[in-house]
Amino acid sequence: MSVDKLSAELEVILVKRIQGDQLFLPSMPAMATKILELLRDPDAGLKEVAKLLEKDPVLAARTLRMATSAAFAGGTKRITLQEALARLGTKALKGLLVEASAQKLFVSRNPQINEQLKTLWEHSVAVGILARDVLALTGQGDSESAYLAGLLHDVGKPVVATVLLELERQLTEVYQKGWIDSGEWLAVIKRVHRKVAVALAEKWQLPGPLVTCIKESGEYDKADRHSLANAVCFSNALAKKAGIYAGDVDAEDNDAIIMIGRSVIGISDDILRTLTKGLRERVMGLYD
Amino acid sequence: MPAILTVDDSRAVRTIVGKQVKELGFEVLEAEDGVQGLEQLAQAQVDLVLLDVTMPNMDGPTMLQKMREGGNQTPVIMLTSESKRSIVSGAMKLGISDYILKPFKPEELRQKVLSVLQGEPGADSVVADASSGASSSPTPAEAGPGMAPAGGRFVDIVVVDDMENVHKKLRSMLPNHVSMNAYTSAQAALGACREKVYRVVLVDTEIPDVNSSVLAQQIRVLQPHAAMVALTLRTSNDVSKEVREQGFDDVLFKPFRPEVVDDFLLRYFDNQDFLQVEDNVLKVAPFSGKADRIDRFYGRLNGVFPEALEKVAAACYDEVVLDVGSPPMEGDRLPKFVVAVAQKSQEFGMTLSLVGPNEVRKVLGGYTETKDLKIFTTVQEARAGVAAA
């Protein structure tokens, strides 16, 4: 069976599962879900949120780290979790919870796939940083949401990878032989990941603009030049150009996306230099 | 004058593009479709083509392909409402230099046209390498007799003012080693800015029929690293804020006052211009001003020499040579300056030798503190003298 045919069949299977609500989509971690629910409650105070957050040391540490970062005018002074929450605000905390939940998807028990997913997560972080900076530097659009939008643009890929692994196990048992190689594996993921990501984003009840962005970030929207989707589309190509990506890149197509995006969004040479300067270090520095 | 061909089936687009391009000082040729575009290219020397995609008779990609097949490598910017990746990617394979999506902002068109005509690197280089560079070839031009050569690619100051007297006055107040170009028209200044690299650009805010703010923006595109200074009449109002809002970095008031010009020089020109360091030789820049500026001249020298000496000491020299040239010798300013340099040199563990004409020798010989200093006629003699000792 050719790769195209196999990809097409897998795509049909996955889409059918999504539409029939039969695709196993990972839930948001329980703690993140609980905290998000609490944040929706207008009567809940920071004290209660902090109390819940304390139960997850990793999330609590991440919250403290974010609150004491330069972005939130942090300092060297120690602060309590409650003070950290007050400094961050609800929107940033929600973003942090979604980010932490998404990161968990980019981990696999299979060492080879895990390595690919690690690079894919680094790519997602790069796209998040770039998308935020693109809108901030052009002074247009919602740069705060752009980071999360960039981070989640490929969130369907690890989910599809997991489903493919499951299918591979089943087929190997039937045919007693190996399945497709990693290149083909990536090609299948590339074809279906966006639909899966949209289904996941809806299941996680992410804000509407983020879901729209995941759905539409493959092409530019000429009508809304500074949309989240355009920032993510451009940033995705730029991160690939900078070499922060797992998988093959069609260089000519990628260059065309960058050239179009520069005019659509209004990216000058100066902005482009600022965006890409030290990008790899910034990505690595975020999760060292 | 560079010529730009705009190929678009929309008369409105051709008119808008033509207006923008003319304002940059370029000649404009027009074509309604690819067929006419190729005819124009066959008849005239064109430096850049602005090409639409969808047109009757022959579309943009076909015209581009025919150009390249015929060996025509004129730079092309695609200017279109088409944003399909496959079309842009195909055009990139045929070597388009850039892409502009309609509707576009005039600044984007101006910036990309100038960038392509200057042969600046594309996004590839910008992404891969954070360093930037303008590439252009130098053209011969002279600032005037007896002045520092301003015909090279790197020139200190360019002045754009419709009054020639302003050029002459400023030139007379600048030290000879500061090079300057001057233009009375915006077009001529833009032409020069395409070919040279300036440190400071002075633009008159009252040139007839010229929007100085727009001119400053255009020059800034061509001279991204230069300081942009507005030349304006001194008034009772503080216009500094106003000119900054117009895109200038600073303001220099007319009529020029010596102390203001001195401050301007101090602000924009490295202090080493007044005291140049080469190996272990400190060379004092010539003084060309009036007597009332002598104190400022020595004040400046006294301010910069310790750092210059530190550089020489850091390079592990045991000796330092101070070439004072022909400095103003009124009063005891020169001996005081030399004594200060000698003391500081001693602190760094270096011996000091002086280079200067006989007049300097006479003046320094008259003071107890400086009469025993070694004074040579040339730097070579000073180096040889130090070696012999």
The pLDDT tens digits for B166-187 are 998 898 888 777 788 999 888 8
pLDDT in tens, B208-225: 888 888 888 878 777 777
| B127:A253 CB<8 A | no
Q: List the CATH number of the domain containing B188.
A: 3.40.50.2300
Q: Are strands B281-284 and B275-278 parallel, antiparallel or unpaired?
A: antiparallel
- Closest partner residue to B89 (CB to CB) among A222, A253, A270 is A253
Set of chain B residues whose Cβ sits within 8 Å of the Cβ of A269:
115, 120, 123, 126, 132
- Nearby residues of B225 by Cβ (< 8 Å), 6 or more positions away: B197
CB of B100 within 8 A of CB of B91? no
* pTM for the model: 0.57
Residue of higher predicted confidence among B144 and B8? B8
Whether B114 shows a pLDDT value over 90: the answer reads no
Residue of higher predicted confidence among B71 and A186? B71
| A222:B93 CB<8 A | no
Domain check: are B356 and B373 in the same one?
A: yes
Classify residue B315: in a domain, yes or no: yes
Q: List the CATH number of the domain containing B329.
A: 3.30.750.24
Determine the pLDDT at residue A277. Answer: 79
Domain check: are B13 and B105 in the same one?
A: yes
Mean model confidence pLDDT for chain B? 82
Name the token pair of B309: 């000496």
- How is chain A split among helix, strand and coil, in percent rounded to 5? 75, 0, 25
Domain check: are B12 and B78 in the same one?
A: yes
Of the candidates B245, B268, B291, which is a domain's last residue?
A: B268
What is the CA angle A241-A246-A252, rounded to 5?
Answer: 35
Whether B142 shows a pLDDT value over 70: the answer reads no
- Collapsing DSSP to helix, strand or coil, A20 comes out as coil
Domain check: are B93 and B114 in the same one?
A: yes
Domain check: are B315 and B336 in the same one?
A: yes
Set of chain A residues whose Cβ sits within 8 Å of the Cβ of B118:
none
Determine the pLDDT at residue B134. Answer: 29
Residue of higher predicted confidence among A251 and B292? A251
Whether B61 shows a pLDDT value over 90: the answer reads yes
Question: Rounded to whole angstroms, what are the CA distances from A242 to A122, A126, B128?
Answer: 12, 10, 7
Given CB atoms, is B346 within the 8 Å cutoff of chain A? no
Domain check: are B263 and B275 in the same one?
A: no
Classify residue B137: in a domain, yes or no: no
Determine the pLDDT at residue B149. Answer: 39
Given CB atoms, is B76 within the 8 Å cutoff of chain A? no
Whether B110 shows a pLDDT value over 80: the answer reads yes
Determine the pLDDT at residue B132. Answer: 29
d(CA A120, CA A115): 9
Stated length of chain A: 288
Mean pLDDT, residues B19-47 taken together: 91
Set of chain B residues whose Cβ sits within 8 Å of the Cβ of A279:
none
Whether B99 shows a pLDDT value over 70: the answer reads yes
Determine the pLDDT at residue B147. Answer: 37
Q: Which residues pair with B353 in a beta bridge?
A: B321, B374
Domain check: are B214 and B299 in the same one?
A: no
Whether B238 shows a pLDDT value over 80: the answer reads no
Classify residue B291: in a domain, yes or no: yes
Of the candidates B100, B122, B144, which is a domain's last residue?
A: B122
Determine the pLDDT at residue B273. Answer: 62
Split chain A (288 residues) into runs of 10 and give each run's mean pLDDT: 66 75 76 84 83 82 78 65 84 84 79 80 90 85 84 87 75 61 71 86 87 89 92 95 85 93 90 82 68
Given CB atoms, is B108 within the 8 Å cutoff of chain A? yes
